[in-house]
């Protein structure tokens, strides 16, 4: 299993749940057993191999473009080494749409949506799908979403991927109008999902809510609480992820 995070504090929160915290720095694929492997998003990468728990964690940077490119590099290297991953999980913190996704809660995506990939028109936003240029949605395996949701007490719904974080009530309302089932927004999930799809690997996205989606209010952010929730949640969901068999679907 490959767990993809944007920044080191998210990686550390995940690794704290699955094994002893490695001493590696940013830019490394980390096996949960504590082995670090060099990772270079612009070039080649080394696969973490089979750690004690069969989980590798990587920091890929912020945004869907970098996340997609970096995830693709890791998946390609693993496949070339004959040790492909069976599942990719995009994990981290994100904004939550109130009242359904409150700060400190967990959300698992039943849809991963590129919310701002498209065009602005006089009649409003038009997605790439509506323009006829591709898809803006990935759907994680429904049975896995249910299992994870139940295991960690999370809510399931759409998680939006944005390149610009929402900072106004007007944009938050517009996103909810276009995506009524949206529970959270973050910046990497769709890029990770695109890379996973190209390699034929199922994807999951799990987010711990650190702040409400809407007016930008740093005083309302609860990043440590969200990271703690991410650690607690991963501790519960790892057995589910490790026992899930995509080939039974």
Sorting pLDDT into bands at 50, 70 and 90, what band is 47? very low
Mean of pLDDT values over 58-81:
93
pLDDT(28) > 80: no
Give the separation between CA 44 and CA 73, rounded to whole angstroms: 7
> Is a pLDDT exceeding 80 seen at residue 32?
no
Domain borders along the chain are 2-248
In this prediction, residue 137 carries a pLDDT of 92
- pLDDT per position as a tens digit, 122-134: 888 887 788 778 8
> What pLDDT sits at residue 188?
96
Q: How confident is the model at residue 45 (pLDDT cuts 50, 70, 90)?
A: very low
For the domain spanning 2-248, the CATH number is: 3.40.50.1580
Percent of the chain with pLDDT over 70: 84
Kindly state the average pLDDT of the residues 19-33: 44
Residue 211 confidence (pLDDT) above 80:
yes
What is the average pLDDT value for the chain, to the nearest integer? 84
Task: Please tell me the predicted confidence (pLDDT) of residue 40.
Answer: 38
Eight-class DSSP state of 18? H
Do the Cβ atoms of 85 and 192 come closer than 8 Å? Answer: no
SS (H, E, C) 76-141: HHHHHCCCCCCCEEEEEEEEECCCCCCCCCEEEEEEEEECCCEEEECCEEEEHHHHCCCCCEECCC
Give this prediction's pTM. Answer: 0.83
Q: How far is CA 40 from CA 37, 49, 86, 122, in A?
A: 10, 17, 22, 42
Asked whether 136 and 193 are in contact (CB, 8 A), the reply is no
């Amino acid at each position: 299993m490959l767990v993809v995070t944007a920044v080191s504090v998210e990686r550390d929160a995940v690794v704290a749940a699955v094994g002893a915290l490695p001493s590696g720095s940013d830019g490394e694929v980390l096996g949960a057993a504590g082995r670090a492997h060099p990772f270079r998003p612009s070039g080649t990468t080394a696969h973490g191999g089979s750690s004690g728990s069969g989980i590798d964690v990587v920091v890929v940077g912020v945004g869907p473009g970098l996340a997609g490119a970096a995830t693709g590099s890791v998946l390609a290297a693993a496949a070339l080494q004959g040790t492909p991953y069976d599942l990719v999980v995009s994990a981290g913190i994100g904004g939550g749409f109130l009242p359904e996704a409150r700060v400190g809660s967990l959300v698992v995506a039943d849809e991963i949506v590129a919310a701002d990939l498209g065009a602005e028109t006089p009649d409003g936003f038009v997605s790439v799908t509506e323009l006829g240029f591709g898809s803006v949605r990935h759907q994680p395996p429904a049975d896995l979403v249910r299992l994870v949701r139940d295991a960690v007490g999370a809510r399931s719904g759409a998680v939006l991927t944005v390149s610009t974080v929402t900072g106004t009530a007007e944009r938050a309302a517009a996103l909810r109008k276009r995506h009524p089932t949206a529970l959270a927004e973050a910046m990497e999930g769709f890029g990770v999902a695109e890379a996973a799809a190209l390699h034929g690997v199922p994807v999951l996205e799990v987010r711990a809510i650190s702040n409400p989606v809407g007016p930008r209010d740093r005083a309302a952010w609860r990043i440590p609480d969200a990271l703690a929730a991410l650690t607690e949640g991963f501790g519960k969901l790892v057995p589910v992820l490790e026992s899930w068999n995509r080939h039974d679907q």
